[in-house]
Amino acid sequence: MRNDKGGAIERLERAFIAGRISRRTFICSVLATGLVAAGAVGALADELEAIRQIQAERLADLPQRFDYIVVGSGSAGCALVGTLADRTDGNILLIEAGDWDTAPTIDDPRAWFANLGTERDWGDVALPGPGVNGRAIPEHTGRVVGGGSSINATIWARPTRADMDHWAEASGDEAWNYQASREIYKRMENWRGALNPEFRGTDGPVWVQPAQDVLPLVDATLAAVAEIGLPVVDDLNAERELTGNGFGLMNQIIKDGRRHSLARAFLYPVLGRGNVTLLVNTSVNHVLIEGDTAVGVECLRDGQVQTFHADREIILSAGGFNTPKLLMLSGIGDEAHLADHGIDTRMHAPEVGRNVQDHILHGGCIFEAPEPVEHRNSAANISGYLKTDSALDHPDVSIVQIELPYASEVIGQEYAPPAGAWALCGGLVAPQSRGTVRLASADPAARPVIDMQFLSHPEDVEYLARAIRLAREIAHAPALKDHMLREVAPGRDLQGDELANFIRNGATTYFHAAGACRMGRDEGAVVDAQLRVNGIRHLRIADSTIMPRIVTVPTMPVCALIGVRMADMLA
């Protein structure tokens, strides 16, 4: 059940650490919730005061040299810093361009979409492309402590065996394979569902639970899935990883009705240590490189340019678009492209900014309900994955139920779905299309040019068509007859060009950009199996950009895996 007072305490804790409220205000506000005994409030305040004091002292006398510099406090950055700080006394500087994660819309998982387009979002938009009928599609990414894990839909979906075994083959390192990765997930997780020691961990920092207190609509949808002969599983993060097929309740990073981001899981527990410094509202302009060695970063903080140096490693965890941008601004990229912007080449790496992939979420197949649909958890509580092509070793499509009439701007205008409606959205989780990230200019403040080339590969349209047919078949199964008055969109069986246009007009993205700095053992790869940038010493990458092929699940848990693996490499 929801615990709004518990969420209020977490907000107060973060606001106190960030210096936005006084100790007195914190104590009085916590006491007002009635959840913490008067005798315990002082001890809690003392603990948080110590964290705040340590951070304040380090900021007041900010060192210029650190052992490690991590750029970006997203899912991977939090997992990396939290894990590394547990294992080393080395000084760690974590730099975040956004602010602290104190907004109420971060805590409330039902309101996650209210973060999109705000100051907590980088606000990037992909160029219009013919694959989506000339539409410009937003690519939301987190610009706040916790990154995407603070603004996304809280889904914890682990990769399949095929996903990770492919990484092991591409990198030449079996430490990336599924079995090794599953052991890391077991270390990470505090799983609150049925015990399954073969697959799940229960002592880690990441609170994960099956979707709680779901609507009758959800139960009926799973019954409908079974009625049409598709597999329904007890846990989407167990045997489904082996087979690639399965529908069930989502795993979610929600605790007591509140988001439990990877900042909460990994970063906050180490902020009270003397070897961790977090800089918020600080933008990195470029990496400082001497010869073939990365030695520091140049930042913009409080309107002033500052430099920080790293004696051991610099790790870029800035995300799907910012990491390739930083590499190019630092002279690492395609020589001709860098020259176009007057940037001297430090390392000719033509694949920086290429191989960019994202999952497609179609909006949508929409169905009017007999009565208004309440939003529970993150307003999406069922998902499923399926291999529709027997030639593949991994799922190619997904289905997610959304407890509101989710539609693209074109589909919404054409079909005008009523507010009392729900959606079954087909997804493309193994896209063949590849995009690019390029610099707009040499100005670090300029956003990069993102050309995702969505649905440019004809197979992507065909797989999405399969997902849409599947969604409609589920919706029309007998188990859902009491939950649907009519099919709003598309309303009938579309064929040929009409279906293709429905797909292209409805395509949106899951905001899972990956692959722009791919890992591999070939000369073209940007990083090697140890995530070291090829040709540059003491510079590594730990985020979604290193994926040789995008995983077939939401990328947040995989970024956490990458962050922990990086800590394993360094410590």
Q: Where are the domains of the chain?
A: 1-61, 63-571
Copy the structure tokens of residue 106: 């971060």
Query: Quick check: is 512 catalytic?
Result: yes
Catalytic residue among 359, 394, 483, 512: 512
For residue 256, pLDDT over 50 is answered with yes
Average pLDDT over residues 24-35: 81
pLDDT given at position 466: 98
Closest CA to 258 of 11, 1, 7, 35: 7
pLDDT digits (tens, 9 = 90+) for 495-515: 999 999 999 999 999 999 999
Average pLDDT over residues 232-260: 96
pLDDT given at position 427: 98
pLDDT given at position 31: 82
pLDDT band for 10, please (50, 70, 90 cuts): confident
In the chain, the percentage of residues whose pLDDT exceeds 70 is 97
Average pLDDT over residues 215-243: 98
pLDDT given at position 27: 83
pLDDT digits (tens, 9 = 90+) for 149-161: 999 999 999 999 9
pLDDT given at position 4: 60
Which residue ranges are tagged as binding site for substrate? 510
Closest CA to 463 of 392, 556, 369, 541: 392
Which residue ranges are tagged as binding site? 144, 284, 510
pLDDT digits (tens, 9 = 90+) for 313-368: 999 999 999 999 999 999 999 999 999 999 999 999 999 999 999 999 999 999 99
Sorted by sequence, the CB contacts under 8 Å of residue 255 that are 6+ apart come out as 207, 209
- Taking the C-alpha atoms of residue 191 and residue 173, their distance in angstroms, rounded to an integer, is 28
For residue 41, pLDDT over 80 is answered with no
* CA distances in angstroms from 350 to 11, 170, 285, 418, 435, listed in the order given: 44, 18, 21, 48, 14
pLDDT band for 56, please (50, 70, 90 cuts): confident
The residue count of the chain comes to 571
pLDDT band for 2, please (50, 70, 90 cuts): very low
For residue 123, pLDDT over 50 is answered with yes
Decide if 241 contacts 30 (C-beta within 8 A).
no
pLDDT digits (tens, 9 = 90+) for 407-432: 999 999 999 999 999 999 999 999 99
Residue with tokens 């499923």: 384
For residue 478, pLDDT over 90 is answered with yes
- Identify the residue with better confidence: 25 or 380: 380
- Identify the residue with better confidence: 7 or 325: 325
pLDDT given at position 1: 36
In the chain, the percentage of residues whose pLDDT exceeds 90 is 86
For residue 37, pLDDT over 70 is answered with no
The fold of 63-571 is FAD/NAD(P)-binding domain (3.50.50)
Query: What are the φ and ψ backbone dihedral angles of 366, each rounded to 5 degrees?
Result: -125, 140
Decide if 411 contacts 426 (C-beta within 8 A).
no
Copy the structure tokens of residue 505: 């007009």
| Averaged confidence pLDDT in the chain | 95
Sorted by sequence, the CB contacts under 8 Å of residue 336 that are 6+ apart come out as none
pLDDT given at position 44: 64
pLDDT band for 461, please (50, 70, 90 cuts): very high
